[in-house]
Amino acid sequence: MKAKKENKVYRITTESEKQRYLKDGYDIYDDEGKVLAYSPLKKIEYGKYVKLQEENTALKVELEEAKANTGDENDDADVIAILTAYAQEHEIDLGRATTITGIVKKINDSKAGE
């Protein structure tokens, strides 16, 4: 492990060294350079924090809207594709039916006529 702060880098080997360097403001990295722990002494400007919080909130709302909008449309398209394939396999004429309800009605009507 390594402890880094600004341009200083120290190799550390024990958990107690890790804790000591964290308390002194160092970040801890593994040997590949990935962060294992950030120093609890790190500070960011409050203005940047507020801006990031607002952006985070807006992105969460946008994500929820996207999930709500795309989930049903994709599911409907998949169901329509499956029903259409079924109708083709069983030589059922769907006419101009393009909705799930319309396709299911055509399939049921053809089954009732058999």
62-84 tens-digit pLDDT: 998 887 776 555 678 888 999 99
Strand order in the sheet with 35-37: 8-11, 2-5, 27-29, 35-37
1: closest CA among 103, 70, 58, 14? 14
Rounded to two decimals, the pTM is 0.45
Query: Amino acid letter at 87?
Result: A
Per-residue pLDDT reduced to its tens digit, 42-59: 888 889 889 999 999 999
Cβ neighbors of 104 (< 8 A, separation 6 or more) are: 83
